[in-house]
Amino acid sequence: MTTHTTLTIDVGTTAIKLFLYQGAQLIHRQEHRIKTYTEANGKVYQKPEELLETLHTVLLALNEETKRTIDFIALSTAMHSLLPVFDQGYGDILIWSDQQAASTIDTFRKTAFSSLVYEKTGTPIHYMSPFSKLLWIKETHPFPLPVKQWIGLKELIADYFTGEYILDYSTASATGLFNSSTLDWDDEILAFLAVNRTQLAQLVDTDAVLPIEEHRKQALGLNSHTQLLIGASDGCLAALAGYLNTGLHTSVTLGTSGAVRKLSTKRELDPNGKTFCYYLAENLWVCGGPTNNGGAVLEWVSNLFFDDSTTLFDQLGNVLSSTSPGANGLQFLPFINGERAPMWNPFVKGSYQGITMTHRRSEFIRAAVEGMILNLKMIMETVEISDEEVSINGGVFRHTELTQLTANILGKDCLLSAHNEPGFGLLGLQETDLKTSSTPSFKLIKKDNEQVQLYQSVYQHFIHSVITYENRHL
């Protein structure tokens, strides 16, 4: 393995994370929060000028602190963002959680063309995607000024370094505008949205290495030979990072939200459009399903029962040891933030079911925790995961009680991966032999077979309740 010094930049929806690697060895990391704005109408956005200013500041600080000669800068960004560029400057960056298109896309889902869009792009029909945002803008909120370019976070950062709007196939494949079979913008979809391909970025593969403008290298104190690796999307790279560390093709991420992802050598679509399938590299795809209701559920429960968002985590051990699987018949459907996979419906609601006077606070808490993980199991079955072991990562799994409970409910041995950041996945795009040359770092959590059996009936009850809810309300 060639020992390059690589700076990976991961621009998510909450923070910019910088990881500096010498070969596969992490030698420095920084994290800086990004401000997100929300409005009562469902608008959720960031300001591009603020983001670029933060990025510039932290890059200068990193260079001053590390004094390293950087060979490559590699990019990871969140998916599903949309930013209009006018002659007068930038608009706002609408991020994935912007909900303004929810009603528009709910109507569109009922059309025949919606199935075709999914078949072409592998992007589920949901308000998160740039497709949905563009449709909403076209039908209900056209801009008074002509839009010169439609870009997202990746193109914004690429332009900062190269002076051009450039987008990788991976991030493009989550826009709903990109035909992931032909690896190009889809003209039929663009015509439907009244978008011209000249308004969109130049497309390149995820391993494309690009020159950085001289004035940018000088301003940041970079070496004259420093180049830019365009990279991929954060979710796809996190899946690759888990594989490179554990050797497992399936990963489960559980932070504030969550996702089940599997690496596949072929493009796999769900016949009912319930999963995503995004390009990562040649002959490598990431298929899966995300949830809105990960650790956010636990924070909500903690606020509900303890008046703050963290006390619950200190009490989890006692709660789980004093209650039994299934929470004495109490069930929680965790859809308090609407839901993505497998329903893709922002209007679905959460609920407790089976409440009696005998239920205690601890059982309400256990039911909520179980509901969050049972939902992941439902997504896992939708994605058709048959592996006996899965890689797990994310902030929720810092709590030992939750790692064991997850193994028991999923019915799988879990490898808690230390290398799960998109930055490590970027190294994998750069170095094809990274898996054999890096040192694995993970903890094995063995499922308890007796508990697995107990949770089989709990899960069947959960699935029955979800199907009943869908039939009655959706």
For 16-73, write each residue's pLDDT tens digit: 999 999 999 999 999 999 999 999 999 999 999 999 999 999 999 999 999 999 999 9
Percentage, residues of the chain above pLDDT 90: 93
User: Once rounded to an integer, what is the mean pLDDT over residues 77-88?
Assistant: 97
Residue 114: what pLDDT? 98
CATH number at residue 92: 3.30.420.40
Using omega within 30 degrees of 0 as the cis cutoff, is the peptide bond preceding 342 cis?
yes
Confidence tier at 432 by pLDDT (50, 70, 90) = low
* CA dist., res. 306 & res. 312, Å (int): 7
Instruction: Give pLDDT, residue 211.
Output: 98
| DSSP 8-state secondary structure symbol assigned to residue 440 | P
pLDDT given at position 435: 57
**pLDDT band at residue 120 using 50, 70 and 90 as cut-offs:** very high
Above 80 in pLDDT, residue 447?
yes
Q: What sign results for the dihedral spanned by CA atoms 93, 98, 102, 103?
A: negative
**Domain shared by 351 and 463, yes or no:** yes
Residues 75 and 163 in one domain: yes
For 180, how many CA atoms within 13 A lie in the half-sphere containing its CB? 33
Indicate whether this model's pTM tops 0.85.
yes
From 204, 225, 246, the end of a domain falls on 225
pLDDT at 430 over 90: no
Collapse the DSSP code of 417 into the 3-class scheme (helix H, G, I; strand E, B; otherwise coil) and give the result: strand
Residue 323 scores a pLDDT above 70: yes
Q: Are residues 249 and 163 in the same domain?
A: no
- Supply the pLDDT for residue 3: 82
- pLDDT at position 473 is 83
Check whether residue 27 and residue 54 sit in a common domain: yes
Tell me what the pLDDT averaged over the chain comes to: 95
- Domain boundary (225, 252, 277) is at 225
Tens-place pLDDT, residues 224-240: 999 999 999 999 999 99
Do 187 and 79 share a domain, yes or no?
A: yes
Mean pLDDT of 172-178: 98
Residue 119 clears pLDDT 70, i.e. is over it: yes
Q: Residue 26 has what pLDDT?
A: 93
**What domain range is 164 assigned to?**
5-225
Q: Which two tokens stand for residue 302?
A: 């903690």
Amino acid 2: pLDDT: 60
- Average of per-residue pLDDT across 118-125: 98
- Alpha-carbon distance of 416 to 246, in angstroms, equals 9
pLDDT tens-digit series, residues 98-109: 999 999 999 999
Mean of pLDDT values over 303-323: 94
pLDDT tens, residue by residue, 458-469: 999 999 999 999
Q: What is the pLDDT of residue 441?
A: 85
Q: Is 113 helix (H, G, I), strand (E, B) or coil?
A: helix
Same domain for 291 and 434? Answer: yes
Contact 400, 445 (CB under 8 A): no
Structural domain ending residue among the three candidates 225, 244, 261: 225
187 pLDDT more than 60: yes
217 and 247 share one domain: no
- Estimate the share of the chain in helix, then strand, then coil, as percent rounded to the nearest 5: 40, 25, 35
CB 260, CB 283: distance < 8 Å: no
Q: Is the pLDDT of residue 294 over 80?
A: yes
Pair (199, 264) in one structural domain: no
Q: Could you tell me if 247 and 213 lie in one domain? A: no
Element (H, E) at 401: helix 400-410
pLDDT in tens, 369-404: 999 999 999 999 999 999 999 999 999 999 999 999
Residue 267: count other Cβ atoms within 10 Å of its Cβ: 15
One DSSP character per residue, 17-48 reads: EEEEEETTEEEEEEEEE---EE-TTS-EEE-H
Same structural domain for residues 206 and 245?
no
191 backbone φψ class: left, alpha, beta (φ>0; ψ -120 to 50): alpha
Predicted local confidence at residue 242, as pLDDT:
94
Q: Give the confidence band of 290 by pLDDT, cuts at 50, 70, 90.
A: very high
Is there a single domain that holds both residue 217 and residue 243? no
Mean per-residue pLDDT for 183-194? 98
Per the structure, the count of domains in the chain is 2
Strand 149-151 to 83-86 pairing: antiparallel
Q: What is the pLDDT of residue 144?
A: 87
Do 238 and 215 share a structural domain? no
Structure confidence at residue 440 as a pLDDT band (50, 70, 90): confident
**pLDDT over 80 (residue 331):** yes
